Structure 1
Amino acid sequence: MDEGLIARRYAKALLRYSQELGAADLVYEKMKLFEINYIAHPDLQKALLNPLLSPGDKEMLLSTAIGIEPGEAYIKGIRLLIKNHREMYVRQICLMFQKLYREAYGIIRVKITTAVELSKEALEQIEDYVKRRYASKKIEFVHKVDSTIIGGFVLQIGTEQLDASLMKELKEIGVGLGLEENY
């Protein structure tokens, strides 16, 4: 079965259930925490795929992965995943839930990636610009530092992306000179 389809089905069901409980906002925040912790601890995925780990241990592992009290909707979602042996899709489900939540509540995610940490003033200027451009929408800002872009920035607003990174420029120069294999 298609991983994207599995993730969408489970995420959709979890979103509907959490909305019925009036806990969609809380589950969304927990999914964001889970994503941060999942990335920070690569061994988590290995542990979830371990056939020797009991369903109870997997539930405990996924519950503690968010770092706060999980809540009813989150726990029931985890139990359903484990019962149906879908724990290997937990990250995809988490990402899909966040995407569906933002779509349902009209939230635009703005992600700015820079090679170095930006000053508070620079981040505020970017946020002000985006808020003026998308005045009728809720906006969620994410700033990420990635030294591999060397310099400049990559700005993602929803599905649009502006790549003004030095790495992109170097790649374009390399392609123009026939050196694309080196980048």
Structure 2
Amino acid sequence: MKVGIISTRYAKALLAYASNHEVENRVFNFLWNLQSNFKGLPQLQQVLESPMISNKEKYNLLLTASQQKDGEDPRDCKEYIRFLKLVLIQHREAYLHFICLRYIDLYRRSKNIGIGFLTTAVSVDKETEKKITKASSKLLHLEMRIFSIVDPSIEGGFIFDFEGYRLDASVATRLNRIKQQFIDKNRRIV
């Protein structure tokens, strides 16, 4: 079977099951953390695909990877537990990252939620983040969730990625454009 078909089936089933039990938001948060760990730790995928590691160890690893910073424990959500056990029993752990991404996408569409990433050279205070969230929500007619990323390499300004669009007001990009203009001008002279 194709990866997209499998991940979509599992994600749709999980969303329907979680919605029936009114825990879709909690499951979303757990899967968001899990997919973040997949992105940040490529070894996680390798460990899950390893036949040398038992399902019990994989299960405990997935629970740890799903743990939230605020302390909400995935062990308290029986729907999420059942989902993880089903994935491991059916040997679909290789598709788990794609299932997470598909669930997040389906959840966002069902709840009319947009996700944006604000990249700045220094950390942004909560008030500024709230203003950006409010402005983007009003513009896009979506409930926006903004995630701040600090990247000193942009040297100043900001980059705002949201719903397939990018607003790049970084100093680094502006300097690169000016540099490219000088290079192009010098090529015409020579």
State the TM bucket, normalised to the shorter chain: 0.7 to 0.9
> Percent same amino acid at aligned positions?
32
Deviations 1:11-34 (A, max 9, x none): 122111211222111111211222
Which among 79, 90, 99 is matched to residue 93 of structure 1?
Answer: 99
| Alignment of 1:149 onto 2:159 | no
Give secondary structure in 1 for the equivalent of 2:168.
Answer: strand
Give secondary structure in 1 for the equivalent of 2:66.
Answer: coil
Q: Going by fraction, where is helix more abundant, 1 or 2?
A: 2
Q: Distance in 2 between matches of 1:49 and 1:133?
A: 42
Q: Distance in 2 between matches of 1:19 and 1:102?
A: 13
Q: Distance in 1 between matches of 2:178 and 2:90?
A: 50
Give secondary structure in 2 for the equivalent of 1:65.
Answer: helix
| Alignment of 1:139 onto 2:144 | yes
Q: Is the 8 A contact 2:120 2:152 kept in 1?
A: yes
Please list every run of 5 or more consecutive structure 1 residues that lacks an aligned counterpart in the other structure: 179-183
TM-score by length of 1: 0.80
Question: Superposition pairs for residues 1-183 of structure 1, below 5 Å?
Answer: 1-67=1-67, 68-70=73-75, 71-134=77-140, 136-172=141-177, 177=183
Q: Distance in 1 between matches of 2:21 and 2:2?
A: 29
Name whichever of 166-175 and 66-75 sits farther off: 166-175
After TM superposition, give the deviation of residue 66 of structure 1 in Å.
1.6
Q: Which has the larger radius of gyration?
A: 2
Give secondary structure in 1 for the equivalent of 2:28.
Answer: helix
Q: Aligned pair in 2 of structure 1 residues 167, 19: CA closer, same or farther (>3 Å)?
A: same
Q: Distance in 2 between matches of 1:79 and 1:143?
A: 33
